A and B are shown apart, each in its own frame.
Chain A
Amino acid sequence: DIQMTQSPSSLSASVGDRVTITCRASETISSYLNWYQQKPGKAPKLLMYAASSLHSGVPSRFSGSGSGTDFTLTISSLQPEDFATYYCQQSYSSLGTFGQGTKVDIK
């Protein structure tokens, strides 16, 4: 199985901050990497697919980059509605494993 490791596990930030979350795959996965946002009590929502493509309706302050084993999700200017947990998920294999999550909370 491909293991996905995110860092940090949690971070505190203020509105307006630039936030970067990292995801590392245990083997190369090209650009087959998706990002999701989850708020408490809700299902995950797709943010990015294919590492750097913005899903329909997602604000442009979200961006993704990377290929191979190392990927990043960046929020250029954190907004109040962005406080949530973020997960990466590899789509290299049909068993689409998720990272352990990064919780972004208010400083």
Chain B
Amino acid sequence: QITLKESGPTLVKPTQTLTLTCTFSGFSLSTSGVGVVWIRQPPGKAPEWLSLIYWNDDKRYSPSLKSRLTIIKDTSKNQVVLTMTDMDPVDTATYYCAHRHGGYSNYYYFDHWGQGILVTVSS
């Protein structure tokens, strides 16, 4: 059974750096084809894809946020960490991590999600 859970601060100040941790079980990020993504969803809006890390440590970032994002994995701890610098109130959102099924295929999808963590950016 695959589970994921996000952890980190729920309130950050403008200009601060956000660090979120996704702790998962039921799969290994050392297994070929596996990926973990970060997706955020501002209140009342659609989900927005942020970043992806593959089993082989290949990484992808949203072009609009690339300069602010860093994703790393700790395979031994079954964790993926996302950092986002220079936080702004517009970054207020629920942040989700999810298991990405499909490797490098275009037939990929997000089949297991964490519960999400609401991060508010406010002074």
Contact = CB atoms under 8 A, between A and B. Distances in A.
Interface of A: 1, 30, 32, 34, 36, 42-46, 49-50, 55, 87, 89, 91-92, 94-101
B102 A98 contact: no
B63 A95 contact: yes
Contacts of B111: 46, 55
Contacts of B63: 1, 95
B109 A95 contact: no
Interface string B29-49: 000000001000000011111
Contacts, number: 57
A55 B109 CA distance: 10
B116 A91 contact: no
Interface of B: 37, 45-49, 52, 60, 62-63, 96, 98, 102, 106-111, 113-116
B96 to A, nearest CB: 6
A97 B49 contact: yes
Contact of A101 (B46, B49, B106, B109): B46
A94 B114 contact: no
A81 to B, nearest CB: 18
Given A1-B63, A49-B107, A91-B102, A43 B46 contact: no
